[in-house]
Amino acid sequence: MRLHRRRLLQVGALGMAGSLLSAPALWAQNSSNVIRIAVSAGGPRSVDPNQTTQGADNWSTEQMFEQLVRPRDGQFATTDDEYVPTLATSWEASDDGLTWVFQIRQGVQFHKGFGEMTAEDVVHSFNRARFDGVNTAVMGNIADVQASGDYEVTFTLTGPDPLFLGSTVFQNGASIVSKRAEEEKGEGFNTDSIGTGPYQLDRFDIENGVFLSRFEDYWDGPANIERVECLYIADTTAQTLALISGDVDIIEAVRAPGWVDQIRQRDSSLLVDMTNPGSFMTLHFNLNVAPFDNPLVRKAIATSISSEIVANAMAPMGQPTFTLSPPEYPTGWAHDELPEELRYDHDPEAARELLREAGFPNGIEFTANTSQREDYRSSMLIVQELMRASGINMRLNIMDHSAYHGSNRQDQNTLALHAASFPPVALDYMMRYLSTGAEVKPDGSGGTNYSHYGITIPGVDDELAAMQRATTMEEYTEIGRGIELKLQEDLPVMGLMTLGFTAIRNPRVDLGYEVESGYARWRFHRATKA
């Protein structure tokens, strides 16, 4: 075989042309008929709302699916009477709170000609969420769900739940999907899902994003904008440049100190949409590790940290919290509401005194793991500095995000920061963080009670059980607030702050409503674009 340079060049040129032709087409031009949002992830995983495990995917499912009830756009509903009829027109609970009957909206069409939504579809959607979803636990209170008519569905609960709409019905997994479509598409439903929302799926591109078009038969009238494109741009610099250049209309903000100010300095016309509260940032003391087994040490640490200072450093996204629940939630306590001895106001000298009292006149030293993710790292670095002033020297072991949570789940941390987004359903996050059943285990099979609360020291299992039995919102809230006070006394965990979900928006796009609270995603069905 003889090879010549010319032949080599020809082969190289052919190879390049071949590679150019074989790769799929990517984005089209941005225009006034399309809203483009850049989300912080490498690529979509699923558009089946019952299977999504990546927050970024929720931006597309939010446009494609609906639940029986929803809060008002841009808000969290903190009590059940704040939910508005969506795919259900009305509902009624029995006196014992164990039976809920929903009247289903008639004439609602599924995308792509999959017909009218009926009670069968609702029952099917809830059953798949109960038995085959990524969050089956939140459906645990449903004992049975039946179609009691063509447009009527009856739920039987194992226990009363005055927040049933928030805890169970308004969940991603409880989005209503077409039973026929799922049966026909099988596993393909993951990436070709059929819902009733204002936008339907056009293209699911695993490398680049999810492309949606307006659903003309949407029951509440067609959306204003023709298309929505959820583009996946993992690199935050690339995202920012895409927004500034006008390639995209909305980006998710980086939750780092000064980031919002920086981008607004670059372009002051950009708009900031932010939820309050956002994710809970909580500090969990490992009660099995000395010196955190000493309540005075925990109080010293709480006194050495200022929630206001940490929240201010993360402004405008950070908001101070004084209990596990943020003050905006029914079970949360505002600073001035708390008994003075349970406020733990920032006082480095008082923290030193508490350490002396605990038998540590020279202060304490310990190592804690944290994630390299910006919100974790920044928060822990600020906490580290605040504690240092009280003689508390925390050595930080910064690791990648997956490794960090792996170490937490294997009980390898001492003072664990955890960020999580929770709706105003106190029982949900209290069960996760405080119940003995959720205790973290060294083999990784346990839950997120990183403190061993209720095992190492007496906990709140009885109170949580009472909360599960509560039949009214008042009773539920009262027990929850009592738990918060006990937590302030025991300090297995402390609220550090909440970090609002923030998106930066091109002023050409008007959402049609104000974003005030809610999950880290918002709908575009009322949006307009200049």
Residue 233 CB, shortest distance to another protein, in Å, is: 5
Query: In angstroms, rounded to a whole number, what is the distance separating the alpha carbons of residues 441 and 103?
Result: 44
Query: In angstroms, rounded to a whole number, what is the distance separating the alpha carbons of residues 288 and 49?
Result: 38
Residue 118 CB, shortest distance to another protein, in Å, is: 28
The amino acid at 108:
V
Residue closer to another protein by CB (options 231, 297) is 231
**What is the SS3 assignment for 104-126?**
ECCCCECHHHCCECCHHHHHHHH
Residue 47 CB, shortest distance to another protein, in Å, is: 9
Cis status of the peptide bond prior to 291, with omega within 30 of 0: yes
Q: Which residues bind another protein (CB under 8 A)?
A: 1-5, 7-8, 12, 15-16, 18-28, 42-46, 53-55, 134-137, 190-191, 206-208, 231, 233-235, 237-238, 241-242, 244-245, 247, 399-403, 405-409, 418, 420, 432, 438, 444-448
CB atoms closer than 10 angstroms to residue 55: 17
User: Which tokens go with 514?
Assistant: 């104000």
Residue 265 CB, shortest distance to another protein, in Å, is: 15
Residue 374 CB, shortest distance to another protein, in Å, is: 14
Residue closer to another protein by CB (options 65, 404) is 404
Residue 419 CB, shortest distance to another protein, in Å, is: 8
Query: In angstroms, rounded to a whole number, what is the distance separating the alpha carbons of residues 182 and 48?
Result: 10
Residue closer to another protein by CB (options 357, 374) is 374
Residue closer to another protein by CB (options 134, 147) is 134
Q: How far is CA 233 from the centre of its chain?
A: 19
Residue 509 CB, shortest distance to another protein, in Å, is: 18
Are 243 and 270 a contacting pair, CB within 8 Å? yes
Residue 300 CB, shortest distance to another protein, in Å, is: 28
Residue closer to another protein by CB (options 303, 325) is 325
Query: Which sign, positive or negative, has the C-alpha torsion 437, 443, 448, 450?
Result: positive
Query: In angstroms, rounded to a whole number, what is the distance separating the alpha carbons of residues 250 and 125?
Result: 31
Residue closer to another protein by CB (options 293, 428) is 428
Residue closer to another protein by CB (options 237, 268) is 237
Residue closer to another protein by CB (options 2, 92) is 2
Query: In angstroms, rounded to a whole number, what is the distance separating the alpha carbons of residues 422 and 166?
Result: 11
Helix (H, G, I), strand (E, B) or coil at 98: coil
Residue closer to another protein by CB (options 125, 191) is 191
The string of DSSP letters for 118-149 reads: -HHHHHHHHHHHHHHSTTGGGGTTEEEEEEEE
Residue 227 CB, shortest distance to another protein, in Å, is: 15
Residue 418 CB, shortest distance to another protein, in Å, is: 7
User: Which tokens go with 485?
Assistant: 């006070």
Query: In angstroms, rounded to a whole number, what is the distance separating the alpha carbons of residues 366 and 394?
Result: 5
Residue closer to another protein by CB (options 39, 392) is 39
Residue 389 CB, shortest distance to another protein, in Å, is: 30
Query: In angstroms, rounded to a whole number, what is the distance separating the alpha carbons of residues 103 and 122?
Result: 11
Return phi, psi of residue 263, to 5°.
Answer: -70, -30
Residue closer to another protein by CB (options 359, 444) is 444
Radius of gyration in angstroms for the set of CA atoms belonging to the chain, rounded to a whole number: 25
Residue 433 CB, shortest distance to another protein, in Å, is: 10
Residue closer to another protein by CB (options 381, 438) is 438
Q: Which of 416, 359, 350, 357 is nearest to 389 (CA)?
A: 350
**How far is CA 102 from each of CA 84, 120, 147, 195, rounded to the nearest angstrom?**
13, 13, 10, 19
Residue closer to another protein by CB (options 3, 530) is 3
In the block, residue with structure tokens 């923290």: 351
Query: In angstroms, rounded to a whole number, what is the distance separating the alpha carbons of residues 233 and 245?
Result: 15
Residue closer to another protein by CB (options 338, 440) is 440
Residue 248 CB, shortest distance to another protein, in Å, is: 8
Residue 447 CB, shortest distance to another protein, in Å, is: 5
Long-range contacts for 211-218 (Cβ within 8 Å, ≥24 apart)? 212/60, 212/63, 212/64, 215/111, 217/109, 218/109, 218/525
Q: Which of 528, 526, 521, 527 is nearest to 175 (CA)?
A: 521
**What is the SS3 assignment for 207-269?**
CCEEEEEECCCCCCCCCCCCEEEEEECCCHHHHHHHHHCCCCCEEECCCCCCHHHHHHHHCCC
